[in-house]
Structure 1
């Protein structure tokens, strides 16, 4: 079911009101909707994934009693899933480093497994690793048998990524984002000033010729 928004106004200068509408099927626009809002009263339907997909609807879609926006919750959930994938990948790297110090054969096996099954899939990677049965493998060079337990490796990955997530508590992401925005804007101003200065010099030389 698509979420649409109905924009209604009797005249262009008047304040527009945005109302949420639940819609199933294709979007149909009536003749009155095609007329200019400043000339005749009409209703304009805006599809959510077009004009409004990048809009901030915090003041319009606050459906919860506690003032928590539903879209914000969805965004936070999606972002958390992405972070979990990154943490899983970093946790695998950490486990591989530990295995290289204790058992190179198992480390090599785990590295080959990760090449075939990318850790960036997050929970899917861990679930598939848990499904693998433990087994013994023989080192062809030394002739030594090695016990490989994928479920145990999956558990180590989960412990490692949880520890990494705990370390993020000290990281103030809003402040980081504010500093990043400031730095980006500073670089833009420096670039604009340099470009403007170069253009002014070139323009003066052109006039002198």
Structure 2
């Protein structure tokens, strides 16, 4: 929930006040509109647009006592959920590779299950796998019975993705993002230079410098 401040006034107030507005869904509404407007029961409604949809409307003011921006917490939580889905998918790949070395029949069953239930759903995939009942299946080629425990496979996926998440703690994402931005900008400049026909001249001058 983002918070913004807007100038409001009621019946030509001599001193317009700052109304605290909270963002929920597609509109912005004032929680303390009566106090801000000063007269009658009213509400401040601001239609959502591209600016307040994507922009950080509370970048300059922080109302929390702990100095934590609520928008940043929400963004971090949403990002963590996306990362968890990616880690789940990667963990499934690792489990499948392990099963291919120990039991190809179970590996084939698990691969078919993943095709019908995409691991990229993250927690939903794990929960559905935990709900599946263990079963015995017979290999038609050699007649061997195989015990398949979906809950056990779900546990292996959770262990694998937790281990993958632990490895990410060593990754310096801010530095990576800074380098990526620099690389993108460098490619842009090179492309612009090629377009203008001056890149070759600039490159020759750079090589001639001691």
Task: Note whether the superposition's TM-score is higher than 0.5.
Answer: yes
Query: 1:137 — aligned with what?
Result: 137
What secondary structure is seen at the aligned counterpart in 1 of 2:136?
Answer: strand
TM-score, length of structure 1 as denominator length: 0.75
Deviations 1:139-173 (A, max 9, x none): 00100000000000000000000000000011000
TM-score, length of structure 2 as denominator length: 0.75
Gaps of at least 5 residues in structure 2 are 9-16, 29-43, 199-210
- Judged with a 3 Å threshold, the aligned counterparts in structure 2 of structure 1 residues 47 and 187 are, in CA distance, closer, same or farther, namely same
Distance 1:132 1:175 in 2: 42
Query: 1:8 — aligned with what?
Result: 7
Q: Contact 1:89 / 1:120 at 8 angstroms: preserved in 2?
A: yes
Shift of 1:63: 2.4
Distance 1:121 1:58 in 2: 31
What secondary structure is seen at the aligned counterpart in 2 of 1:147?
Answer: strand
Deviations 1:75-113 (A, max 9, x none): 000000000000000000000000000000000000000
Query: 2:82 — aligned with what?
Result: 82
Gaps of at least 5 residues in structure 1 are 10-16, 29-43, 199-209
Q: Contact 1:129 / 1:154 at 8 angstroms: preserved in 2?
A: yes
Distance 2:164 2:26 in 1: 46
Query: 2:192 — aligned with what?
Result: 192
Shift of 1:130: 0.3
Shift of 1:196: 1.5
Deviations 1:2-25 (A, max 9, x none): 86745339xxxxxxx975314899
Q: Contact 2:129 / 2:150 at 8 angstroms: preserved in 1?
A: yes
1:14-163 equivalent positions in 2, closer than 5 A: 19-22=19-22, 46-163=46-163
